[in-house]
Amino acid sequence: MERSSGILLPISSLPSPYGIGTLGKEARDFVDFLAKAKQRWWQILPVAPTSYGDSPYQSFSAYAGNPYFIDLEQLIEIGLLKKEEVEACDWGDDPTRVDYGKIYNSRFALLEKAAVIGWQRYGGEIEAFVNQNKSWLPDYALFMALKRANGMKAWTEWEESVRMRESAALDKAREELAEDIRLFSFIQFVFFRQWRALKAYAHEKNVGIIGDMPIYVAMDSADVWADPGSFQLDSRNVPTEVSGVPPDSFTADGQLWGNPLYNWEAMKADGYGWWIRRMAGASKLYDVIRIDHFRGFESYWAVPGDAKTAKDGRWVKGPGMDLLGVLKRWFPDLEFIAEDLGYLTPQVKQLLDDFGFPGMKVLEFAFDSREPSTYLPHPYPSNCVCYPGTHDNPPLARWRKDAAKEDIALAKKYLGLNRTEGFSRGVIRGGMSSVADLFVAQMQDYLEDTGRINTPGIPSGNWQWRLTEGKLTDELALEIAEMTTRYGRA
């Protein structure tokens, strides 16, 4: 990766008149801002449909696009919706926060209306799109139709014959739920049509898109329901062990994520086809893929499926380069970023070296006054990505308020921070001037906004922060461009 920089901003955080960011005008405006600021990259979070808790890391599909991100203005322009229909919906009254409940209640009713005209006008194109994506889309559309028919309950609570994918039961469901299957096929057709247009616009401006791939998929997903043999499930498709991380100084019980673990033996026997298909899907969306929880490929924490906490888990060896080598051979031109945060064993470090793609350095982790840190910039290798903080960390303005006084004092001393430059700008300078090939800051860092995207371990109030109109000024773009040029990243 060439020396460059970018900004992290989720699609959901873009401003828009309808409650959540979309793939429309405001997304193109942000691309224009990035280009004016001489940024090479726009880093986003997963764009898949969100489930309970609204987390983009717990999705109904590893392939599908989020219906919330479809730009309604474009549907109005091509005559699939009427403006008064869209404006009549309640999208919430706070432009700084996403109200997912109101969006859920309004969004699908509108998309159902659009689908009726859409199928009449684009039926042949939709059918061709479904056929081009037959490895995942028919199962996903059926899965979502069944969820609606079952009051959005998890598939593990469905009727036994459907839950276990008996052929006769699925044939009956396809017939009875044909209208909803057409709806969810239409939604994906529209999402990817709009996504391709936005990605092409970004490329015209020399802006690439860094996307995020969670290492695990959700239990309540079409991925697990449609292919249970690829996961560690028993004869009734109940997980035998699930994902998590062990106890540490922050969490006495560890973290029980609950995602089903992969059946690596079965995947290897298949030549890792599941992962090849998944990576091929991600490559259609992103120019660079950040692999979340990279260390799980070397070894992962396996927790009994009926456990209440992660304390009783165990370390199990992962596939390592056996899998990653396959992916490198299949996708030689695709660039990756390995999320390698936290304590790394020598084996994980070796895997990262063997994989050859950059790991991550977070400046907010660098200034722990209690012990030496490996995140301080002076020993960075060039083959890494430097962040002031990620979506799981507070923006710099909030970190300054919440962190220990000793840590902030160390940051000021190490980076030579001063009042004239400002705290956030000084930390950004420290990362921008480092030898890291790529530097990425959250949009809030430049705005000196304290709003967090996510607070790990807090079940509510996350993924809601939004950028408001008027914040992306020409003056700010020129300021960022000047610093980017100064440190050779333009």
Question: Could you confirm whether 248 is annotated as catalytic?
Answer: no
Question: Could you confirm whether 445 is annotated as catalytic?
Answer: no
The residue type found at 46 is: P
- How many whole angstroms separate alpha carbon 464 and alpha carbon 30? 18
DSSP state of 262: B
The residue type found at 367 is: F
Alpha helices in 150-177 (DSSP H): 160-163, 167-176
Question: Could you confirm whether 292 is annotated as catalytic?
Answer: yes
Which residue is listed with tokens 């028993």? 234
Give every CB contact of residue 90 below 8 A, 6+ residues apart in sequence.
102, 105, 106
Q: Which of 292, 340, 407, 437 is flagged as catalytic? A: 292
Longest dimension (CA), the chain: 72
Give every CB contact of residue 372 below 8 A, 6+ residues apart in sequence.
none
DSSP state of 139: H
Give me 9's structure tokens. 């901003």
Strands 384-387 and 359-362, sheet pairing: parallel
Give every CB contact of residue 340 below 8 A, 6+ residues apart in sequence.
294, 295, 348, 352, 359, 360
Q: Which of 180, 241, 298, 339 is flagged as catalytic? A: 339
- How many whole angstroms separate alpha carbon 393 and alpha carbon 390? 5
Number of H helices, E strands in the chain: 18, 12
Q: Which of 253, 392, 421, 479 is flagged as catalytic? A: 392
Which residues, in sequence order, are bridge partners of residue 242?
260, 303
- How many whole angstroms separate alpha carbon 200 and alpha carbon 194? 10
Q: Strand 438-442's sheet: what is its strand order?
A: 335-338, 288-291, 208-213, 41-43, 4-8, 438-442, 384-387, 359-362
Which residue is listed with tokens 């903080």? 389
- How many whole angstroms separate alpha carbon 395 and alpha carbon 234? 43
Tell me whether residue 99 is exposed, middle or buried, using C-beta atoms within 10 angstroms of its C-beta: 0 to 12, 13 to 18, 19 or more.
middle
Tell me which long-range contacts 418-422 makes (C-beta under 8 A, separation of at least 24).
422/448
Residue 365 CB: number of other CB atoms within 10 A? Answer: 18
The C-alpha angle 56, 355, 350, rounded to 5 degrees, equals: 110
Catalytic residues: 292, 339, 392
